[in-house]
């Protein structure tokens, strides 16, 4: 679809005609979008639309079958070390050892990066202060989620890719997390947010790409998306634009 | 890298199964055997050696197999199942170094266990140290390589931590049987003994026993270990997945 018409001068992420299949199944058919420096960019779509696969290609976890990806001008697969140093990632699902303590996880991940952030301050901002000695396996779902956000930010990334940022968080934690993401962006970090929670997209995203059945059906600001659909709210617009034709 | 290795080591000690089963259990068995009088009788069917002399290399091999087949595979397969390796792939460090750290931990623990077994046998029960130390060291290292490669293959083939536990045990018990844990190779019927010599633990115990008695380990035993190491490592490398 329209790649929002204009090339962004300060593009930090450029995805062109991304195509990815698993055997016979096409996970991503044709996805293109551009993310500008300092933007909060939302990738919206239903479960199975191809959001997570797109993000996995973006961070170099998967090799695309077609198209090109540039992250900070580099190829996420070929320049893997370079890209991973500058891109912080929060993935869905658990990803730490059960007996690893919160403080140990923060110190370990801090050691991976040349100029890590202040782990204690990050834990405090995410409401995990005092949990340093708690093993990962004993954290609640929301605490695990917040720790995984902290680990995505510990390396002072230029880009943070956050998949299902606030899934499993209670409303207070969700709002605190939104505040944190806005503060991180204010510090100059570009944010790619995968979500199907419309209040989150509305509150945080400057622009969104709406993906359906492996293709981008709309790129623009949340307001433009609402306008184009003719619906009253973003949630209605989302439902209308991603409704499967029977 | 050092942070990663020290974190993995701390988790290994915190988990306790590695130190307990890989180091503690073989030493416990040695102490039990060493306190049974008939283990100290010289026997003609063992070439004039005592049963305890015979069992020291067997317990060394038992310890190596325990670490490589019952401790290592569930950790690695569990890391893949939980997404630990996947998460690390998105960092500059990558998951290869976790694998490296785990292998180093296995090797170091194996050396600790072997040293402890030899010293306890020597000073608590009067069993002589290997009279061909270099040969014993080479046999131990090759055995560790072969068994660790098998452990990596189990970790590669198993979908998750629990499956790795089950497959590891299913490989472990026949191997320690052919290693002579229940019946020393010297006392096995010829057909069983022949099979035993072809297995990694049978070859390891034969090589270690040679070195204990002051001979250079037979090259066929060393070659057998090398073949197991190469074959299993190649298969593991082919099958291994980070996710």
- Closest residue in chain B to residue A90, using alpha carbons only: B87
Residues of B (4-23) whose Cβ lies below 8 Å from A: 4, 7, 10-11, 14-15
Whether A94 and B92 lie within 8 Å, measured CB to CB: no
Contact between A34 and A4 (Cβ < 8 Å): yes
Please state whether beta strands A11-22 and A40-44 pair in parallel, antiparallel, or not at all (unpaired): unpaired
- Closest residue in chain A to residue B91, using alpha carbons only: A84
Percent of chain A with pLDDT over 90: 70
- Residue A2: pLDDT band by 50, 70, 90 thresholds? very low
Please state whether beta strands A190-195 and A159-163 pair in parallel, antiparallel, or not at all (unpaired): parallel
> What's the half-sphere exposure (Cβ side, CA atoms, 13 Å) at A14?
13
Residues of B (22-81) whose Cβ lies below 8 Å from A: 79
Which among B242, B73, B101, B87 is positioned nearest to B172, based on CA atoms?
A: B73
CATH no., domain A11-241 = 3.40.50.300
Name chain A contacts of B79, Cβ cutoff 8 Å: 97
Q: Following DSSP, what letter does each residue of B174-198 receive, concatenated? A: HHHHHTTSSS-GGGS-HHHHHHHHH
3-state secondary structure of B48: coil
Query: What confidence tens digit (pLDDT) does each residue in B93-142 have?
Result: 989 999 999 999 999 999 999 999 999 999 999 999 999 999 999 999 99
From the list A91, A151, A155, which residue is nearest B83 (CB)?
A91
> What's the half-sphere exposure (Cβ side, CA atoms, 13 Å) at B66?
22
Q: Following DSSP, what letter does each residue of A118-131 receive, concatenated? A: -HHHHHHHTT-TT-
Whether A112 and B92 lie within 8 Å, measured CB to CB: yes
Nearest-neighbour CA in chain A from B228: distance (Å): 31
What integer pLDDT is reported at residue A234 of this predicted model?
87
3-state secondary structure of A193: strand
Contact between B61 and B217 (Cβ < 8 Å): no
The CA–CA distances, whole Å, from B71 to B15, B77, B80, B106, B182 equal 10, 11, 15, 9, 21
Contact between A221 and A39 (Cβ < 8 Å): no
Query: What confidence tens digit (pLDDT) does each residue in A90-120 have?
Result: 987 768 999 999 999 999 999 999 999 999 9
- Closest residue in chain B to residue A89, using alpha carbons only: B90
CA distance B24 to A99: 22
Whether B4 and A108 lie within 8 Å, measured CB to CB: yes
Supply the mean pLDDT for chain B: 95
The CA–CA distances, whole Å, from A77 to A56, A63, A214 equal 11, 7, 21
What integer pLDDT is reported at residue B48 of this predicted model?
87
Which among B180, B151, B146 is positioned nearest to B165, based on CA atoms?
A: B151
Mean predicted confidence (pLDDT) in A162-170 = 86
- Closest residue in chain A to residue B75, using alpha carbons only: A97
Query: What confidence tens digit (pLDDT) does each residue in A173-218 have?
Result: 899 889 999 999 999 999 999 998 888 999 999 999 999 999 999 9
Interface test with B, best of A76, A82, A83, A97 (most B CBs within 10 A): A97
Supply the mean pLDDT for chain A: 90
CA distance A133 to B83: 22
Interface test with A, best of B4, B90, B95, B96 (most A CBs within 10 A): B90
- Residue A8: pLDDT band by 50, 70, 90 thresholds? low
Which among A89, A193, A86 is positioned nearest to B89, based on CA atoms?
A: A89
The interface predicted TM-score (ipTM) is 0.90
Domain-wise residue ranges, chain A: 11-241
The CA–CA distances, whole Å, from B169 to A147, B26, B66, B134 equal 35, 16, 9, 31
Q: Where are the beta strands (DSSP E) in A23-123?
A: 25-36, 40-44, 66-71, 87-90
Contact between A11 and A34 (Cβ < 8 Å): yes
Domain count, chain B: 1
Q: What pairs with residue A209 in β-bridges?
A: A43, A219
Whether A97 and B86 lie within 8 Å, measured CB to CB: no
Angle between helices B190-198 and B200-212 (to 10 degrees): 100
Cβ-in-10-Å burial (0-12, 13-18, 19+) of B134 comes to exposed
Quote the domain boundaries for residue B211: 2-239
Whether B11 and A113 lie within 8 Å, measured CB to CB: no
Nearest 5°: phi and psi at A148?
-70, -30
């Amino acid at each position: 679809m329209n790649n929002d018409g204009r090339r962004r001068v300060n593009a930090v992420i450029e995805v062109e005609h991304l195509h990815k299949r698993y055997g016979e199944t096409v996970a991503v058919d044709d996805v293109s979008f551009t993310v500008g420096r300092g933007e909060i960019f939302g990738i919206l779509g239903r479960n199975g639309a191809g959001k997570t696969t797109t993000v996995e290609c973006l961070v170099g976890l998967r090799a695309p079958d077609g198209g090109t990806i540039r992250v900070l001008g580099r190829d996420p697969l070929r320049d893997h070390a370079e890209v991973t140093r500058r891109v912080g990632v929060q993935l869905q699902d658990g990803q730490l050892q059960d007996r690893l303590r919160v403080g140990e996880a923060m110190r370990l991940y801090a050691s991976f990066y040349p100029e890590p952030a202040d782990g204690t301050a990050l834990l405090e901002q995410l409401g995990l202060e005092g949990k340093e000695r708690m093993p990962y396996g004993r954290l609640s779902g929301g605490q695990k989620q917040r720790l995984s956000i902290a680990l995505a930010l510990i390396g002072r990334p230029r880009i943070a890719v956050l998949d299902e940022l606030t899934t499993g968080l209670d409303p207070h934690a969700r709002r605190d997390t939104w505040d944190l993401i806005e503060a991180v962006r204010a510090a100059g970090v570009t944010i790619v947010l995968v979500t199907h929670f419309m209040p989150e997209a509305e509150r945080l995203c400057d622009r969104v790409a709406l993906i359906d059945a492996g293709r981008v059906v709309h790129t623009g600001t949340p307001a433009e998306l609402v306008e184009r659909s003719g619906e009253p709210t973003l949630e209605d617009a989302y439902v209308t634009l991603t409704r499967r034709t029977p | 890298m050092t942070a990663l290795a020290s974190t993995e080591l701390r988790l290994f000690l915190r988990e306790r199964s590695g130190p307990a089963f890989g180091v503690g259990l073989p030493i416990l068995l040695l102490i039990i055997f060493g306190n049974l009088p008939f283990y100290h009788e010289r026997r003609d069917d063992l070439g004039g050696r005592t049963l305890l002399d015979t069992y020291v290399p067997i317990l060394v091999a038992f310890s190596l197999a325990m670490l490589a087949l019952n401790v290592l595979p569930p950790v690695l397969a569990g890391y893949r199942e939980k997404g630990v390796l996947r998460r690390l792939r998105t960092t500059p460090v990558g998951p290869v170094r976790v694998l490296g750290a785990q292998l180093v931990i296995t090797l170091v623990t194996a050396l600790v266990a072997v040293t402890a077994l030899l010293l306890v046998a020597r000073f608590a029960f009067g069993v002589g140290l290997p009279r061909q130390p270099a040969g014993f060291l080479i046999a131990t290292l090759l055995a560790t390589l072969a068994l660790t490669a098998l452990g990596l293959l189990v970790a590669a083939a198993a979908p998750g931590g629990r499956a790795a536990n089950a497959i590891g045990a299913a490989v472990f018990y026949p191997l320690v049987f052919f290693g002579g844990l229940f019946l020393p190779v010297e006392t096995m019927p010829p057909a069983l003994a022949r099979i035993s010599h072809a297995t990694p633990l049978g070859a390891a115990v034969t090589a270690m026993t040679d070195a204990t008695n002051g001979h250079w380990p037979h090259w066929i035993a060393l070659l057998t270990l090398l073949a197991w190491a190469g074959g299993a490592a190649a298969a593991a490398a082919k099958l291994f997945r980070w996710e």
